[in-house]
C-alpha cells in the first residue's frame, strides 16, 4: 500500500496547520519510527490504474488536497502514462458538507477527466465512483476509483432496506396475482346462514330450540343500533375503517405474541373483512383447513372485498352473519334469543355482552356461564372507552348495569332433554370441522344420544344427591355412558341441575381418579409379561400402610386389584416401570399431564371423566381404542337433492368412516384386565354395582378425604360402560367409592331392563 506525502506548496486554501496536524495525528500512528495509518480509523482511499492491464495502486487520503499528474516533482499522486498531463487534476476535501468528501477538479489538462464518456470540469466523489483520466475509449487511459464505504451500521440499514423492499415487492406481486384468482364478488355468493339442527340417536327428536331456527338479517347498518357496530370494531378490528382488508400491524403483533408465548398462547390477526371473506368463500375458494394457505387466500379475498364494497356494507354483512352461539347467526337473531329485543333496542351493557361472545360463542355464552360473559362484556367496554367510542362514565355505568337475560329462551334451552349432551355436541363439532367451518351453519348433526338412557342417567344422579348427598356430603356428580363396541356416547349427565350450573363435569372437569387409575399400572405389568398370579408383599411401603385385607403376608395381582390395595398397586407399578404406566395411560387415551410417581399410581393426577370412561371401554373392547364420540353423522343441509328429505343431503362426516378402531393393547392383556375387573364386583370393593341383568366388571376409586368418589363399570354382553363420579366442585365428602358403585347399579338396572 502506498500513502502520498502532503504537497509542499498547496494551490488552494487549507485548514490552519495546528488543525491539520491534529487531524493527521488522529488518523496516524508511529510504528518503529515509521508513520502509518491508524487501523482503527476509517480514511478514504483512491485506487489508481495506469492502464486497464496494470494492477491498481492504493493511496490513503489523509490530507485535504492532492495533485494528480505525470510530474514527479509537482504531483502527490504520480500517474506515469502519456495520456496524463504533467498536472492533470487535483483532489480537494470539501469540509462545508456534514460529511467531508473529496471533489476531483480538472486542472486544464489536455485529455480531461471523464465519467461515463462525459467530460467534466469537477465532480464530487462517491463510494466506488470511477473516473477516467482521458477519453475512456482509449485503452491507455488511466482510471481512478474512489473508495469510501459508509460505516457498517449504515450499510446494514441500506441492505436491510433493499431486502425489505425486495420482499415487499414480491409479496405485492404475489398478492396481486392471488387477488386476481378470487372469484367474482358481485353479486355476493349465496351463503344463507341456516340453523345447526341436532338430532337424537333416533333421528327424530331435535335437541336444538326450533323457535330460533329461521335466520333473518337487517338491510341497513343503522338497524343494528349505535352500540353493536362500534363494539365489534373495538373487539375485532380497530383498524377496520382504514385497512385494506388485512392489518399488517396486527399480523406482526400476533406473530410476536405467538413466538414469545412458545405456543402457550396463540393470537390471531383476522380482520372483520377476513372473517367475512372466510364466511362467504370458505367452501368455494378460501378453504376450511387451519393452514397458511388458507390464511393467504383469506387475505386475498379480504382485499378484493375491500375494493368491491364500501366499509359500511362489509360491516353490515359481517354483523348479519357472525356466529353467536346456540346455533344462532347474526346480531339480529342473537338480540332476540339472549335478550328478547331488536338489536337497536339493546343498551350498551347488552350490546357489549353479545359482542363478547365472538371469540368463543359456546363457552362465553351467558346462558351457560353468565359470570364469564360479564367478564368479556367488561373487556369490550374498557376497549371502547380506550378508543374514545364511549366515555369512562358510560363504561362504568354499563358495568354497573344488571344483565337481564331472556329467561323464556334460556328455560327452553335448558329444558332440552339432554342439555349437557347438546352443549358437548358443539364442542365436538368444532373439533371435527374446525371452528370456522362449524360456525357456518346449514348443518344437520345426527348424534348417538339414547333418550331413555339419558333420562335414566339424569334421574339416577338426581336421586343419589337427594337421597345420599346430605349423609355423605356430596352435592354434585357426573355420569357418561359409552357403547364399548363403537365408542358412541349414549348419554352424558354433566351435573345435577343444568339450570343452576352449565359446567359439564363429565367432559370438562379435571378430577383425581383415585384407584380407578390402577387399571393402567396393572395393565402395564401384564403387558410387561408379569403374570397376574404373581404375589406381592402386603407390608407397609413408603408411608403407605399394609394391606387392609391381606395382613402382612402377600397377595396376587387378582386379589390386590379387586380389594384395591394401595401398597400392592405401587409395587406392581414399580415392577412394571413407572414410565410404562404413563405410556399405558397415554395409549388408552389419557391426555392429562402425568408424573411418574407413586402419587400417580394411586390416582393423584387430575384427569377427565370422559377420558377415563374411554380408557376402560378400550379394555372391555378387547384392547381396541375407539375415540368416544357423540356425533354419528354431519350433513350439509345447504346441499340436498331434496330439501324435504335429509337423507338426500351431502354427508360431510360419518363416524363409521372417520373413526376407526385401533388395536392399542394386546387382546390377551385386555382379557386379563377384564377378569381382574370382574373380581372387583364379585368379591371386592365394587360389590354394590352388581345387577341381575348381566355380569358386571369395573373398578372403584376414592381419593384422599373422600374428595372424589368413582365407579367405572361395564356390562360386556350389552356393550355398555358407564363412569360415575360423585363429589363437590370444591371440598371433600364423607363417602366412599361404594356409594358411586351403588349409583352405577341403580342407573344400570334402569338402563338395561
Co-location of 358 and 473 in the same domain: no
pLDDT digits (tens, 9 = 90+) for 502-549: 789 999 999 999 999 999 999 999 999 999 999 999 998 888 888 886
pLDDT, mean over the chain = 86
C-alpha 628/C-alpha 611 separation (Å) is 8
Percent of the residues in the chain that have a pLDDT greater than 90, as a whole number? 61
Say yes or no to pLDDT of 5 above 50. Answer: no
Say yes or no to pLDDT of 433 above 80. Answer: yes
Co-location of 621 and 702 in the same domain: yes
**Alpha helix segments (H runs only) across 486-565:** 518-527, 557-562
Averaged pLDDT for residues 628-639: 92
Q: At what angle do helices 311-321 and 228-236 cross, to 10 degrees?
A: 90
For residue 112, what is the domain's CATH number? 2.60.200.20
> Which contiguous run of DSSP H or E holds residue 639?
strand 631-640
Strand 45-49 to strand 57-60: parallel, antiparallel, or no bridges (unpaired)? antiparallel
Co-location of 606 and 704 in the same domain: yes
- Among residues 414, 432, 466, which one ends one of the domains? 414
Say yes or no to pLDDT of 6 above 60. Answer: no
- The pLDDT assigned to 368 comes to 82
For residue 538, what are the CA distances in angstroms to 525, 552, 563, 564, 577?
A: 17, 5, 12, 12, 19
46 belongs to a structural domain: yes
Burial string for 293-317 (b: 16+ CB within 10 Å, else e) reads: ebbebbbbbbbbbbeebeeeebbbb
The residues facing 47 across adjacent strands are: 58, 145
For residue 400, what is the domain's CATH number? 1.10.3810.10
421 belongs to a structural domain: no
Say yes or no to pLDDT of 411 above 80. Answer: no
- The pLDDT assigned to 669 comes to 97
Say yes or no to pLDDT of 572 above 90. Answer: yes
Q: Please report which confidence band the pLDDT of residue 33 belongs to, taking 50, 70 and 90 as the band edges.
A: very low
pLDDT digits (tens, 9 = 90+) for 69-114: 999 999 999 999 999 999 999 999 988 776 678 999 999 999 999 9
For residue 510, what is the domain's CATH number? 3.40.710.10
Co-location of 123 and 55 in the same domain: yes
Co-location of 107 and 165 in the same domain: no
C-alpha 159/C-alpha 2 separation (Å) is 31
Co-location of 678 and 716 in the same domain: yes
- The pLDDT assigned to 682 comes to 94
Provide CB contacts within 8 A for 153, sequence distance 6+: none
Q: Which among 593, 229, 204 has a CA at the least distance from the CA of 390?
A: 229
Averaged pLDDT for residues 284-301: 76
Averaged pLDDT for residues 677-704: 93
651 belongs to a structural domain: no
Say yes or no to pLDDT of 41 above 70. Answer: no
Co-location of 723 and 576 in the same domain: yes
Co-location of 585 and 714 in the same domain: yes
6 belongs to a structural domain: no
**Alpha-carbon radius of gyration of the chain:** 40
Q: Please report which confidence band the pLDDT of residue 40 belongs to, taking 50, 70 and 90 as the band edges.
A: low
- The pLDDT assigned to 326 comes to 80
- The pLDDT assigned to 22 comes to 47
- The pLDDT assigned to 535 comes to 94
Co-location of 316 and 376 in the same domain: no
Strand 443-447 to strand 196-199: parallel, antiparallel, or no bridges (unpaired)? parallel
Say yes or no to pLDDT of 302 above 60. Answer: yes
302 belongs to a structural domain: yes
Asked whether the beta carbons of 750 and 459 are under 8 A apart, the reply is: yes
Q: Which domain holds residue 467?
A: 454-625+663-751
338 belongs to a structural domain: yes
237 belongs to a structural domain: yes
- Among residues 270, 303, 321, which one ends one of the domains? 321
Neighbours of 412 (CB within 10 A): 15
Ranges 295-299, 395-399, 426-430: which has the least confidence:
295-299
The residues facing 78 across adjacent strands are: 69
Percent of the residues in the chain that have a pLDDT greater than 70, as a whole number? 88
Say yes or no to pLDDT of 344 above 80. Answer: yes
Averaged pLDDT for residues 673-686: 95
**Alpha helix segments (H runs only) across 603-664:** 609-620, 655-658
Q: Which among 280, 363, 370 has a CA at the least distance from the CA of 321?
A: 280
CA dihedral 570→575→579→585, nearest 10 degrees, is -60
- The pLDDT assigned to 31 comes to 44
Provide CB contacts within 8 A for 212, sequence distance 6+: 195, 326, 327, 328, 333, 336, 337, 409
Say yes or no to pLDDT of 331 above 90. Answer: yes
- Quote the number of domains for the chain: 5
- The pLDDT assigned to 256 comes to 58
Averaged pLDDT for residues 147-156: 84
Asked whether the beta carbons of 3 and 63 are under 8 A apart, the reply is: no
Co-location of 704 and 723 in the same domain: yes
Co-location of 70 and 164 in the same domain: no
pLDDT digits (tens, 9 = 90+) for 440-497: 677 889 999 999 999 999 999 999 999 999 999 999 999 999 999 999 999 999 999 8
132 belongs to a structural domain: yes
Q: Please report which confidence band the pLDDT of residue 559 belongs to, taking 50, 70 and 90 as the band edges.
A: very high
- The pLDDT assigned to 17 comes to 43
- The pLDDT assigned to 693 comes to 83
Strand extents, DSSP E, 459-563? 476-483, 489-493, 510-511, 535-537, 554-556
Averaged pLDDT for residues 680-685: 94
Averaged pLDDT for residues 713-738: 95
Strand 535-537 to strand 554-556: parallel, antiparallel, or no bridges (unpaired)? antiparallel
Averaged pLDDT for residues 191-210: 77
- Among residues 366, 388, 414, which one ends one of the domains? 414
- The pLDDT assigned to 182 comes to 82
- The pLDDT assigned to 263 comes to 45
Co-location of 615 and 475 in the same domain: yes
In a 10 Å sphere around its CB, with 0-12 CB exposed, 13-18 middle and 19+ buried, how is residue 87 labelled? middle
CA dihedral 666→671→674→679, nearest 10 degrees, is -130
Say yes or no to pLDDT of 24 above 80. Answer: no
C-alpha 631/C-alpha 647 separation (Å) is 16
Q: Please report which confidence band the pLDDT of residue 210 belongs to, taking 50, 70 and 90 as the band edges.
A: low
Averaged pLDDT for residues 358-384: 92
Q: Please report which confidence band the pLDDT of residue 133 belongs to, taking 50, 70 and 90 as the band edges.
A: very high
Asked whether the beta carbons of 383 and 235 are under 8 A apart, the reply is: yes
Amino acid at each position: 500500500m502506498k500513502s502520498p506525502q502532503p504537497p509542499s506548496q498547496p494551490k488552494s486554501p487549507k485548514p490552519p496547520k495546528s488543525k491539520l496536524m491534529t487531524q493527521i495525528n488522529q488518523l496516524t500512528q508511529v510504528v518503529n519510527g515509521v508513520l502509518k495509518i491508524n487501523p482503527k480509523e476509517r480514511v478514504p482511499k483512491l485506487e489508481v490504474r495506469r492502464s486497464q492491464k496494470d494492477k491498481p495502486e492504493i493511496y490513503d487520503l489523509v490530507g485535504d488536497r492532492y495533485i494528480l499528474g505525470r510530474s514527479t516533482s509537482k504531483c502527490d499522486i504520480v500517474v506515469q502514462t502519456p495520456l496524463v498531463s504533467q498536472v492533470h487534476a487535483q483532489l480537494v476535501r470539501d469540509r462545508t458538507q456534514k460529511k467531508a468528501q473529496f471533489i476531483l477538479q480538472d486542472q486544464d489538462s489536455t485529455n480531461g477527466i471523464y465519467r461515463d464518456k462525459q467530460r467534466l470540469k469537477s465532480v464530487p466523489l462517491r463510494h466506488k465512483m470511477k473516473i477516467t483520466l482521458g477519453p475512456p475509449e482509449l485503452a491507455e487511459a488511466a482510471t481512478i476509483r474512489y473508495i469510501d464505504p459508509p460505516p457498517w451500521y449504515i450499510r446494514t440499514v441500506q441492505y436491510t432496506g433493499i431486502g425489505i423492499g425486495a420482499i415487499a415487492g414480491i409479496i405485492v406481486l404475489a398478492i396481486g396475482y392471488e387477488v386476481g384468482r378470487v372469484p367474482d364478488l358481485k353479486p355476493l355468493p349465496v351463503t344463507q346462514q341456516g340453523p345447526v339442527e341436532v338430532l337424537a340417536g333416533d333421528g327424530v327428536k331435535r335437541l336444538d330450540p326450533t323457535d330460533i331456527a329461521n335466520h333473518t338479517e337487517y338491510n341497513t347498518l343503522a338497524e343494528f343500533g349505535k352500540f353493536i357496530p362500534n363494539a365489534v370494531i373495538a373487539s375485532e378490528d380497530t383498524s377496520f375503517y382504514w385497512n385494506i382488508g388485512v392489518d399488517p400491524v396486527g399480523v406482526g403483533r400476533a406473530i410476536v405474541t405467538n413466538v414469545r408465548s412458545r405456543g402457550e398462547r396463540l393470537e390471531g390477526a383476522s380482520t372483520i373483512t377476513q372473517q367475512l371473506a372466510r364466511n362467504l368463500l370458505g367452501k368455494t375458494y378460501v378453504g376450511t383447513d387451519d393452514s397458511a394457505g388458507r390464511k393467504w387466500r383469506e387475505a386475498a379475498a379480504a382485499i378484493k372485498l375491500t375494493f368491491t364494497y364500501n366499509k359500511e356494507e362489509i360491516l353490515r354483512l359481517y354483523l348479519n352473519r357472525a356466529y353467536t352461539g346456540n346455533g344462532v347467526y347474526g346480531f339480529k337473531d342473537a338480540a332476540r334469543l339472549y335478550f328478547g329485543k331488536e338489536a337497536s333496542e339493546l343498551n350498551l351493557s347488552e350490546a357489549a355482552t353479545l359482542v363478547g361472545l365472538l371469540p368463543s360463542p359456546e363457552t362465553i355464552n351467558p346462558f351457560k356461564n353468565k359470570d364469564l360473559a360479564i367478564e368479556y362484556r367488561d373487556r369490550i367496554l374498557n376497549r371502547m372507552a380506550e378508543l374514545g367510542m364511549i366515555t369512562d362514565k358510560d363504561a362504568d355505568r354499563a358495568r354497573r348495569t344488571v344483565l337481564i337475560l331472556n329467561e323464556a329462551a334460556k328455560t327452553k334451552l335448558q329444558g332440552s332433554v339432554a342439555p349437557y349432551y347438546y352443549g358437548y355436541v358443539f364442542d365436538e363439532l368444532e373439533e371435527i370441522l374446525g371452528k370456522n367451518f362449524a360456525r357456518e351453519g346449514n348443518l344437520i348433526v345426527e348424534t348417538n344420544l339414547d333418550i331413555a338412557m339419558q333420562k335414566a342417567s339424569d334421574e339416577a344422579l338426581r336421586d343419589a344427591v337427594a337421597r345420599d348427598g346430605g349423609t355423605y356430603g356430596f352435592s354434585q356428580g357426573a355420569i357418561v355412558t359409552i357403547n364399548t363396541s363403537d365408542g358412541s356416547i349414549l348419554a352424558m349427565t354433566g351435573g345435577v341441575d343444568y339450570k343452576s350450573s352449565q359446567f359439564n363435569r363429565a367432559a370438562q372437569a379435571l378430577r383425581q381418579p383415585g384407584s380407578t387409575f390402577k387399571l393402567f399400572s396393572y395393565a402395564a405389568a401384564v403387558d410387561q409379561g408379569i403374570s397376574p398370579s404373581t404375589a406381592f408383599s402386603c407390608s407397609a411401603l413408603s408411608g403407605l400402610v399394609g394391606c387392609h385385607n391381606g395382613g402382612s403376608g402377600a397377595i396376587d395381582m387378582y386379589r390386590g386389584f379387586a380389594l384395591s390395595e394401595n401398597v400392592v398397586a405401587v409395587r406392581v407399578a414399580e415392577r412394571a416401570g413407572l414410565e410404562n404406566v404413563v405410556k399405558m395411560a397415554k395409549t388408552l387415551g389419557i391426555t392429562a399431564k402425568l408424573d411418574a410417581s407413586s402419587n400417580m399410581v394411586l390416582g393423584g393426577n387430575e384427569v377427565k371423566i370422559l377420558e377415563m370412561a374411554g380408557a376402560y371401554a378400550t379394555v372391555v373392547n378387547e384392547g381396541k381404542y375407539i375415540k368416544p364420540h357423540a356425533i354419528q353423522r354431519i350433513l350439509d343441509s345447504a346441499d340436498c337433492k331434496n330439501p324435504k328429505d335429509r337423507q338426500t343431503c351431502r354427508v360431510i362426516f360419518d363416524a363409521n368412516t372417520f373413526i376407526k378402531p385401533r388395536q392399542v393393547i394386546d387382546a390377551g392383556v385386555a382379557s386379563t384386565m377384564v377378569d381382574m375387573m370382574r373380581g372387583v364386583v364379585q368379591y371386592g370393593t365394587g360389590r354394590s354395582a352388581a345387577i341381575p341383568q348381566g355380569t358386571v366388571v369395573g373398578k372403584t376409586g376414592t381419593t384422599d378425604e373422600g374428595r372424589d368418589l368413582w365407579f367405572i363399570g361395564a356390562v360386556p354382553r350389552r356393550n355398555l360402560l358407564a363412569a360415575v363420579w360423585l363429589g363437590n366442585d370444591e371440598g371433600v365428602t364423607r363417602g366412599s367409592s361404594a356409594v358411586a358403585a351403588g349409583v352405577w347399579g341403580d342407573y344400570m338396572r334402569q338402563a338395561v331392563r
